[in-house]
């Protein structure tokens, strides 16, 4: 089977640049399988794009190409629309690194459909139950506090509270990148989360945001431990453990970090706690490189005793 060139991605979304951090991103929810594989596009230092309705993903790829070449979001979108004979069935929004925004809702997109361009953001929706969906998103985004991802979640929740997609809900995605590019997209990407098929995709993506934040805190904890900053390491690992819930990963690496920092008794206490729930973590510890344990050659023997 050959997939259609223009997926019928009827949905609501938001693109934005965070004025405080310069982060760029896009968030979306739809009654469409794997909406994030079509709608969401972003590149650090370049911009963010949402392409939906009778979606042409080329708007994402070419929009980023044009903004990378220093075209403003309004100029990039205008050029792409001028070359598209199907523009009246498209809905597209773009934001560039300077916070310039452009959006288009074609005259043949399925009602209820529309968009609102605000200061550094655009909300857009089509095939909605009511025409209050995108105004509710704009208001929620403007009034929400916290990081860009928190404001995105508020906008998505507001859309759903107004009835959202007339067909219901199925998938969601959030893509957020840093303000400046390092040339390494795997570092520049802060959130790249997708819920491809779920009864409550917004509930699930909110859970995934917390998990991703936990791993960010764990990375920061490991970095702090690597530079010998015990206070920062403790703070970051504690934050990670609070976010991750029953997952033992964060607690385990907290213990390993403490061993490396010379806090042997504290580290062993955490490993004993983790090992009491799953002995495989202790077995893993015995397989780790000795360099993780500092200069104490007897430490692995002490860990081995935890297997009892």
Confidence (pLDDT) at 97: 98
Contact in structure between 28 and 12 (CB atoms under 8 Å): yes
Residue 2 has pLDDT above 50, yes or no: no
pLDDT digits (tens, 9 = 90+) for 246-270: 899 999 999 999 998 989 999 999 9
Confidence (pLDDT) at 6: 67
Pair 189, 237 in one domain? no
Confidence (pLDDT) at 99: 97
Q: Is 209 a member of any domain?
A: no
Residue 245 has pLDDT above 60, yes or no: yes
Confidence (pLDDT) at 289: 85
Residue 116 has pLDDT above 50, yes or no: yes
Backbone angles phi, psi at 51, to 5 degrees: -120, 120
Query: How many domains does the chain fold into?
Result: 2
Confidence (pLDDT) at 303: 85
Q: Is 92 a member of any domain?
A: yes
pLDDT digits (tens, 9 = 90+) for 206-243: 999 999 999 999 999 999 999 999 999 999 999 999 99
pLDDT confidence band for 295 (50 / 70 / 90): low
Structure tokens at 146: 């916290």
Q: What is the DSSP letter of 128?
A: B
Pair 194, 46 in one domain? yes
Provide the edge-to-edge strand list for the sheet that holds 171-177.
Answer: 114-118, 121-125, 11-17, 24-30, 171-177, 189-195
- Domain enclosing residue 87, as ranges: 8-199
Confidence (pLDDT) at 297: 66
Pair 109, 252 in one domain? no
Residue 277 CB partners (closer than 8 Å, separation 6+): 248
What SS3 class is residue 249?
helix
Distance set, CA 133 to CA 26, 154, 199 (Å): 17, 13, 20
Structure tokens at 213: 């934040």
Final residue belonging to a domain, choices 199, 229, 263: 199
Final residue belonging to a domain, choices 175, 199, 223: 199
Confidence (pLDDT) at 1: 39
pLDDT confidence band for 7 (50 / 70 / 90): confident
Pair 45, 189 in one domain? yes
Residue 3 has pLDDT above 50, yes or no: no
Pair 286, 244 in one domain? yes
Pair 24, 104 in one domain? yes
Residue 18 has pLDDT above 50, yes or no: yes
pLDDT digits (tens, 9 = 90+) for 182-208: 999 999 999 999 999 999 999 999 999
Mean pLDDT of the chain: 94
Pair 222, 193 in one domain? no
pLDDT digits (tens, 9 = 90+) for 136-168: 999 999 999 999 999 999 999 999 999 999 999
Q: Is 204 a member of any domain?
A: no
Distance set, CA 147 to CA 3, 56, 117, 308 (Å): 37, 30, 20, 46
Mean pLDDT of 264-282: 94
Pair 150, 225 in one domain? no
Confidence (pLDDT) at 294: 61
Residue 151 CB partners (closer than 8 Å, separation 6+): 16, 18, 140, 141, 144, 145
């Amino acid at each position: 089977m050959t997939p259609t060139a223009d997926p019928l991605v009827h949905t609501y979304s938001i693109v934005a640049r965070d004025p405080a951090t310069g982060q760029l991103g896009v968030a979306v929810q739809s009654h469409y399988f794997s909406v994030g594989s079509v709608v969401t596009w972003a590149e650090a230092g370049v911009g963010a794009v949402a392409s939906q309705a009778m979606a042409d993903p080329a708007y994402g790829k070419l929009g980023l190409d044009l903004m990378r070449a220093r075209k403003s979001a309004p100029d990039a979108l205008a050029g792409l629309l001028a070359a598209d004979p199907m523009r009246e069935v498209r809905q597209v929004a773009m934001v560039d690194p300077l916070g310039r925004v452009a959006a288009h809702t074609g005259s043949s997109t399925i009602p209820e459909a529309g968009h609102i361009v605000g200061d550094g953001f655009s909300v857009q929706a089509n095939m909605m139950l009511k025409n209050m969906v995108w105004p509710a998103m704009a208001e929620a985004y403007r009034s929400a506090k916290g990081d860009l991802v928190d404001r995105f979640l508020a906008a998505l929740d507001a859309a759903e509270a107004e009835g959202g997609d007339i067909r219901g809900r199925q998938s969601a995605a959030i893509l957020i990148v840093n303000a400046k590019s390092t040339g390494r997209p795997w570092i520049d990407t802060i959130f790249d989360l997708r819920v491809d098929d779920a009864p409550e995709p917004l509930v699930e993506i909110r859970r995934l945001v917390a998990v991703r934040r936990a791993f960010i805190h764990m990375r920061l904890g490991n970095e702090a431990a690597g530079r010998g900053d015990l206070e920062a390491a403790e703070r970051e690992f504690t934050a990670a453990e609070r976010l991750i819930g029953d997952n033992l990963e964060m607690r385990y690496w907290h213990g390993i970090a403490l061993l490396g920092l010379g806090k042997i008794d504290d580290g062993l206490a955490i490993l004993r706690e983790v090992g009491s729930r799953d002995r495989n973590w202790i077995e893993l510890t015995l397989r780790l490189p000795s360099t993780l344990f500092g200069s104490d050659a007897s430490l692995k023997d002490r860990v081995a005793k935890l297997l009892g």
